[in-house]
Structure 1
């Protein structure tokens, strides 16, 4: 297998997932800032023009971070980061979906349409006037999540893909003008727990 990766929160999620699994997969760095991901050579690898992208041994492609992580989980079930039972997998997928829709997507687009506009405006449809609202949506999602956290991790007692996904985007948000509001005390404490994991440093 070969992982095409770059800077940014999306590749970081996969790299942190791999670190938790102890997986060593060949990596190819794509220069996102220079737009290499939108050039013909990379588009032959991933027509979506996004990173990360996992090319399997048979040459087929798995793209999108949750799909890549789910694939790796099936290839190497331990330690389980999605789940070992249908109930655990269902709970993890529920929280991944909630975190993605309520926090990660609005946070990322809030950046792309504002601070990241000079880099992204020639690559995708950008709506600069939506940026403040998107950032507010991400903060509202975090406030909601803070009211829902009932254990050491997002899904309760288990460390899962939901934790990795949220951590990758919140750590990125802190660098691009969308820091975590310390009033969200449960999420703030959770963030420090995840930040202390070796995989957080290994994927940075």
Structure 2
């Protein structure tokens, strides 16, 4: 297999998932800043021009964070990051979807249409007038998560793909003008817990 990797929260989510699993897959780095993902030869890999992409041994290509991570979980069941049972898997997928719609998508587009406008305006339809509203939508989503967070992780006691996805985007948001509101005590506590995981720090416990 080969992972087409780049900067950005989407590849970060997949590489954190791999780190939690202890999976090492050869990587081909794609220069997103230079737009390599939006032209050949990468478009032959993923016609959508998005990152990351996982090329299987037979040449099949998987894209989209959840599809790639679910495939890797099936090949590498331990440690469990999606679920052992139908109910566990459904709950992880539910929270992953909530995080994606309520926080990740509006946060990403809020960046693309404002701070990232010069980078993205030639690559996709951008709506600069929508940026403030999208950023506000992402903050509303975080407020909703705060109100519905039971902890210690999004799916209760299990660390999961939902946590990895949210962490990757909040880490990104902090660097592009959308920092985590310090008033969100539960989410800030959760963020600190996740940031101390070995997959994030890269440090092996003594």
Give the TM-score range, shorter chain.
Answer: over 0.9
Q: Which runs of 5+ in 2 are unaligned?
A: none
1: CA distance between counterparts of 2:189 and 2:73?
27
Q: Which runs of 5+ in 1 are unaligned?
A: none
**Which residue in the other structure is 2:183 paired with?**
183
**Which residue in the other structure is 1:93 paired with?**
93
* Residue 45 of structure 1, CA deviation: 1.1
1: CA distance between counterparts of 2:48 and 2:60?
14
The Cα RMSD (Å) is 0.6
State yes or no: 1:81 paired with 2:81. Answer: yes
**Which residue in the other structure is 1:111 paired with?**
111
2: CA distance between counterparts of 1:151 and 1:9?
23
Aligned residues: 202
Q: What TM-score, normalized by structure 1, do the two folds share?
A: 0.98
State yes or no: 1:34 paired with 2:25. Answer: no
* Residue 46 of structure 1, CA deviation: 1.0
Q: Which runs of 4+ in 1 moved over 2 A?
A: none
**Which residue in the other structure is 1:158 paired with?**
158
* Residue 201 of structure 1, CA deviation: 2.7
**Which residue in the other structure is 1:11 paired with?**
11
Q: What TM-score, normalized by structure 2, do the two folds share?
A: 0.97
**Which residue in the other structure is 2:130 paired with?**
130
